[in-house]
Amino acid sequence: MERSQMYRQLANVRKALFDQGFLDEQFVQLEELQDDANPNFVEEIVTLFYRDSIRLIQNIELALEKSPLDFTKLDSCMHQFKGSTTSIGAKKVKNECTQFREYCKAGNGEGCKRTYQQLKKEYAVLKKKLEAYFQLARQIGPVDGACRPK
């Protein structure tokens, strides 16, 4: 059946996201919080994250353009952003954040800039993957509640 195929496809996409290290346990927590009252909870949170984090990323970018670099400020901005990434379980992005903070502590400006580029890349990649994932889920979505055993 088409639907069951879609379910399988969805499950595979989901599994890949975990296996490839894009997402961590937090994402599962979000899924567990999803219920009838909030049937699109996970997507809501991811959307909130991507919306909210734009300005955080911009802050970092601006701070990186200053010369000389203010590592304290950079660290602080990144700290905020990192907190945000933990909300959806964005594992790879979070790791880049951690790396970035290490470079801040060491006062390594080049390291920070490099890591930041990497971070932006991971951030964008994950966004695309999640968008695709949710789109697929939505296709199956409406039926989901009816199929689930109460």
Partner 1 sequence: METGFSSPRTDAFPAGLRVLVVDDDLAWLRILEKMLKKCSYEVTTCCLAIEALDLLRERKDGFDIVISDVNMPDMDGFKLLEHVGLEMDLPVIMMSVDGETSRVMRGVQHGACDYLLKPIRMKELRNIWQHVFRKRIHEVRDIESHEGIDEIQMMRYGSDQFDDWHLLSGHDLTSGKKRRDVDSKHDDKDLGDHSSAKKARVVWTVDLHQKFVKAVNQMGFDKVGPKKILDLMNVPWLTRENVASHLQKYRLYLSRLQKENDLKASFGGIKQSDSSSKDPAGNLSLPNSIKMQQNDSASGIYGMPGNKTLPQSVDQKIHESDLKGIVSLSVMETKKAPIHDIPDPSKVSSSRMVPNHPFGQLEQEVKYARFNSSIPKQYAWSQVPEVQFKQEHKIHHRVENGFNHLPLPGLQHHVQVDFIQPTPSVSSRPFNKEREKPASIEIKPSYNNFSSHQTIQVAPIGTATNLFPVQSESYAISFHTPAPTLTATLSMKNHGLNQIFVNELESAQRNLISGNCSGFASSDGDLISCLLQGNSYATNVELQNKESFNHNCPELFVETPTCLNDAQRFDYDYPWESMEYPVIDQGLFIV
Residues that bind partner 1 in the complex, under the rule CB under 8 A: 25-26, 29-30, 32-33, 38, 41, 44-45, 48-49, 51-52, 76, 79-80, 82-84, 86-89
Cβ nearer to partner 1, comparing 32 with 61: 32
Could you tell me the smallest distance in angstroms from the CB atom of residue 29 to partner 1? 7
CA neighbor of 15 nearest in space, from 27, 5, 3: 27
Cβ nearer to partner 1, comparing 76 with 139: 76
Could you tell me the smallest distance in angstroms from the CB atom of residue 52 to partner 1? 5
Could you tell me the smallest distance in angstroms from the CB atom of residue 72 to partner 1? 10
Could you tell me the smallest distance in angstroms from the CB atom of residue 11 to partner 1? 23
Cβ nearer to partner 1, comparing 20 with 72: 72
Cβ nearer to partner 1, comparing 34 with 139: 34
Strand runs (DSSP E) across the chain, as ranges? Answer: none
For residue 97, count other CB atoms closer than 10 A to its CB: 26
C-alpha to C-alpha distance for 77 and 33, rounded to whole angstroms: 29
For residue 43, count other CB atoms closer than 10 A to its CB: 20
Calculate the alpha carbon distances from 19 to 11, 16, 57, 58 in Å.
12, 5, 26, 30
